[in-house]
Chains A and B, each alone.
Chain A
Amino acid sequence: MYWSMVGWSHHHTPLEIREKLAFSKEQVGDALRKLLVEFPESESVLLSTCNRVELYSAASEQHKLPQPEQLGSFLTRFHNADLSDVREQLTTLQGEDAIKHLFMVAASLDSMIVGEAQILSQVKAAYEMACEGETASALMHLAFQRATTVARRVANETEIHRRRISVPSIAVSEIASEFFERFDDKNILLIGAGEMGEETLRYLVEAGAKNIRIINRNIARSESLATKFSAQISTWDGLTECLAAADLIISTTSSPEPIISLDLFKNSRSRSAGSVLILDLAVPRDFDASIVQLPDVYLYTVDDLQQVCDRNIRARQTQWPKAERIVNQEVSKFLQESVHRSSGVTIKRLREQADEIKQEELRRLTNRLKQHAVAEQVNKEIEIAFDRLVNKLLHPPLKTLRDSADSTHHATMLESLRRLFQIKED
């Protein structure tokens, strides 16, 4: 069994090139159809994400596997580009390296943000599309099935996925959850309606938040967000009242100056006794930094959250060697199994061939012996002797083949065996 991978990823290819070479879902389907026509004897899976465009190929025999140059050319031609323009950034991997790369990608060890969970579903989706397009069959099934197993092992046996690494998710899962047991009874105020605020609201709603109020100068944007999160809208004039009632404030305006001064905040909270958590996700900041000195007020800025992000990313990276060990184990296990599987077909065919010859000779001999009225017992003894002879003749080459399963010569030996015994595989 032979595998290869050609493609471009965030490691060596800038975003401008990746954008040009990326495939939409429809384009993937189209490309797979063309691959089937162009390389009918091999299997293909095309993985296209914002960080990579990779084409995996597999074939049962080496000569059936397309050359990396052909595959690279196919991918660039699809986008009316020239391979020579992007050849420098092209990654080509063969055999074990290609399989290891697939496992690393699926386990999110090759991702831009190590441990991000999305890549596994993208890998699965790519494989499913290939199955639908009938460009993936038994070989790809083995490789992608194992890639999923590897990803699960890495997720379960390491802590690589356990820490969050985006500012909004950290704001909710690691900061807000240290303050609040539940979110369904909390008054949440979103000031401004930036992307970061929207993302944070998404996590809060997932955590159970229900009472959400949005204040934004652009009412249309507020209404759109309010509809999305079943929130209420307040006008900018009602800011003081909203600040007074809030348990959690998220601020994401694009104001160049702080919009909440110490005095404004103090006055608005003068009759509020509860603690308040402020997530100031705006740059520049929306809240005056001195507000943090007020008792029972906890103010977190983007920088504070970014520090947690960085720490979590470092923590994930410490898990990398452990994860790579798992991948290496699985790669060698997978290759061994592949070797056994591919040599298994040849061995079976060899035995069948030997058996056919044995049966033919036995038949001929039995017919002759019938003329001499040989006893049935003698016939049986002759048959046993023929069996033993075939087994003894086949044993040394087959043993050597099995013993060399882990060696690099295995493929050559298998090929020699096929030629020497003129084995024809279906």
Chain B
Amino acid sequence: MLTGVSVSCFLLSYVIALVLEASRFLFKMPGRSFALVAMLAVGLFAHSIFLVNQFFFGTTAPLPQLSNWFQWAVLGAWGLSIACLILTFRNPNRSIGLFLIPIILGLLGVAQLSRDMAPFKPDGLVEFWPIIHGVSLLVAVMFNCLGLAFGSMYLVQSSRLKKKTVARRQLRLPALEFLRWMIRLSLYTSTIGLALGLISGIVLNLRNDGQAMWFSGGVVFTFALFTISLAGTLAETLPSRRLGGRQSAYLVIANFLFLVIVLGLVLISSHGQTAVQSDSTGYTDGFRRVATRLRSAQLDLLADPSEGV
């Protein structure tokens, strides 16, 4: 099915959409919002085709499953681009894409970096807990990313309104109330996702070794991330301790930064992978792979002939 569709196709669409968003600062352009939605839609279409090829035609498994970090990150970017398209379509004059598209591109960058990493489960069987683990953490990461975008938008909008600099044509953002609502949604959803990811991760560890590996890197980091997220959620929920708008925004941004650190550590470890050589922490091998990947200058997305499926 449209086997020529590669990462480059939708990456290019997203980059053009980002350029269109950024061009608001430079000049007026009739039909810009339409072009922006069209580019996002085209990108999402190509992105969806790519994923269909990956999950349905590029595997021997009876049902689609997340088999490696590459697919995981591309799927996460796909979820964010759906959110971006819907939000841009509903608010065509607000610069939502300016904050969301860079995160989508970042996730695609992560996907590209992790392209050569070993698959999660080479046996190709569909199992319940690994899917729950992968999907719930993916949802948590996606909403964490949304939290970053909406938290940043909130800070910009709030600071502008505090300084009484009313929105100009170049950078119009959604209302504070909407941003606050999105921050809460991303905080709550990512907490739920992390909780499910943590529980399923512990179950997976139990099943693999017969006993819980409480201090394995994945469990410890997910637990830490979950704890911070839960604290923020409780602070948002409890009326007596409810956070202010800016505090919530800072919280989701901090959550994201912590997520980046954790994700970085997880990516360079052998977490979720089998049949790889690693030391007791599992990091050495991962570090080596990423370093090699960066050194070998295979980051040229457009020139990569192996992208076609």
Interface residues of A (CB under 8 A from B): 174-175, 177-182, 273, 275, 292, 295-296, 298, 300, 304, 307-308
**Closest residue of B by beta carbon distance from A298:** B161
Q: Which residues of A contact B246 (CB under 8 A)?
A: 295-296
A296/B244 contact (C-beta < 8 A), A178-B161, A273-B239 known: yes
Q: Which of B167, B243, B244 has the most CB of A within 10 A?
A: B244
CA distance A308 to B165 in the complex (A): 9
Given A296-B245, A304-B164, 5 additional A-B pairs, CB 8 A = A178-B175, A179-B161, A180-B176, A181-B174, A182-B177
The answer on a CB contact under 8 Å between A273 and B177 is: no
CA distance A308 to B181 in the complex (A): 28
Q: Which residues of A contact B164 (CB under 8 A)?
A: 300, 304, 307
Q: Which residues of B contact A182 (CB under 8 A)?
A: 177
**Closest residue of B by beta carbon distance from A297:** B162
Q: Which residues of B contact A177 (CB under 8 A)?
A: 175
Produce 1/0 per residue, B170-189, CB < 8 A to A: 00001111101100000000
The answer on a CB contact under 8 Å between B239 and A180 is: no
CA distance A179 to B176 in the complex (A): 5
Q: Which residues of B contact A292 (CB under 8 A)?
A: 162
The answer on a CB contact under 8 Å between A273 and B162 is: no
CA distance A307 to B247 in the complex (A): 30
Listed by A's residue number, 23 A-B pairs whose Cβ atoms lie within 8 Å are A174-B167, A177-B175, A178-B161, A178-B167, A178-B176, A179-B175, A179-B176, A180-B177, A181-B178, A181-B181, A273-B239, A273-B242, A273-B243, A275-B176, A275-B180, A275-B244, A292-B162, A295-B244, A295-B246, A296-B244, A296-B245, A296-B246, A298-B161
Q: Which residues of A contact B181 (CB under 8 A)?
A: 181
Q: Which residues of A contact B174 (CB under 8 A)?
A: 181
Q: Measured between C-beta atoms, what is the minimum distance from B241 to chain A in Å?
A: 9
- Nearest 7 CB-CB pairings of A with B: A273-B242, A296-B244, A181-B178, A181-B177, A181-B175, A304-B164, A179-B176
Is B26 located at the chain interface by the 8 A CB criterion?
no
**Closest residue of B by beta carbon distance from A179:** B176
Please give the number of chain B residues whose Cβ is less than 8 angstroms from any Cβ of chain A in the complex.
Answer: 20
CA distance A275 to B242 in the complex (A): 12
The answer on a CB contact under 8 Å between B162 and A298 is: yes
Q: Which residues of B contact A178 (CB under 8 A)?
A: 157, 161, 166-167, 175-176
Q: Which residues of A contact B175 (CB under 8 A)?
A: 177-181
Q: Which residues of B contact A295 (CB under 8 A)?
A: 244, 246-247
**Closest residue of B by beta carbon distance from A176:** B175
Q: Which residues of A contact B243 (CB under 8 A)?
A: 273
A273/B244 contact (C-beta < 8 A), A174-B166, A177-B175 known: yes
Q: Which residues of A contact B176 (CB under 8 A)?
A: 178-180, 275
Q: Which residues of B contact A174 (CB under 8 A)?
A: 166-167
Q: Which residues of B contact A300 (CB under 8 A)?
A: 164
CA distance A275 to B178 in the complex (A): 12
Q: Measured between C-beta atoms, what is the minimum distance from B95 to chain A in Å?
A: 14
Q: Measured between C-beta atoms, what is the minimum distance from A226 to chain B in Å?
A: 26
Q: Which of A273, A275, A308 contacts B166 (CB 8 A)?
A: A308
CA distance A86 to B21 in the complex (A): 57
A275/B245 contact (C-beta < 8 A), A177-B175, A178-B175, A181-B178 known: yes
CA distance A299 to B196 in the complex (A): 43
**Closest residue of B by beta carbon distance from A292:** B162
CA distance A292 to B161 in the complex (A): 11
CA distance A218 to B290 in the complex (A): 74
**Closest residue of B by beta carbon distance from A308:** B166
CA distance A307 to B246 in the complex (A): 26
CA distance A295 to B164 in the complex (A): 14
Q: Which residues of B contact A304 (CB under 8 A)?
A: 164
**Closest residue of B by beta carbon distance from A315:** B169
**Closest residue of B by beta carbon distance from A293:** B162
Q: Which of B157, B166, B180, B245 contacts A175 (CB 8 A)?
A: B166
**Closest residue of A by beta carbon distance from B242:** A273
Q: Measured between C-beta atoms, what is the minimum distance from B168 to chain A in Å?
A: 9
Q: Measured between C-beta atoms, what is the minimum distance from B166 to chain A in Å?
A: 6
Q: Which residues of B contact A296 (CB under 8 A)?
A: 244-246
Q: Measured between C-beta atoms, what is the minimum distance from B33 to chain A in Å?
A: 16
Q: Which residues of A contact B245 (CB under 8 A)?
A: 275, 296
Q: Measured between C-beta atoms, what is the minimum distance from A178 to chain B in Å?
A: 6
Q: Which of A174, A177, A275, A308 has the most CB of B within 10 A?
A: A275
Q: Which residues of B contact A175 (CB under 8 A)?
A: 166
Q: Measured between C-beta atoms, what is the minimum distance from A220 to chain B in Å?
A: 35
Q: Which of A179, A298, A307, A308 contacts B177 (CB 8 A)?
A: A179
Q: Which of B177, B245, B246 has the most CB of A within 10 A?
A: B177
CA distance A300 to B181 in the complex (A): 23
Q: Which residues of B contact A180 (CB under 8 A)?
A: 175-177
Q: Measured between C-beta atoms, what is the minimum distance from A291 to chain B in Å?
A: 12
B:231-270 near A, CB below 8 Å: 239, 242-247
CA distance A175 to B157 in the complex (A): 12
Q: Measured between C-beta atoms, what is the minimum distance from A269 to chain B in Å?
A: 11
**Closest residue of A by beta carbon distance from B164:** A304
Q: Measured between C-beta atoms, what is the minimum distance from B239 to chain A in Å?
A: 7
Q: Which of B157, B164, B246, B247 has the most CB of A within 10 A?
A: B164
**Closest residue of A by beta carbon distance from B172:** A178
CA distance A407 to B166 in the complex (A): 51
CA distance A304 to B243 in the complex (A): 28
**Closest residue of B by beta carbon distance from A311:** B166
CA distance A304 to B176 in the complex (A): 19
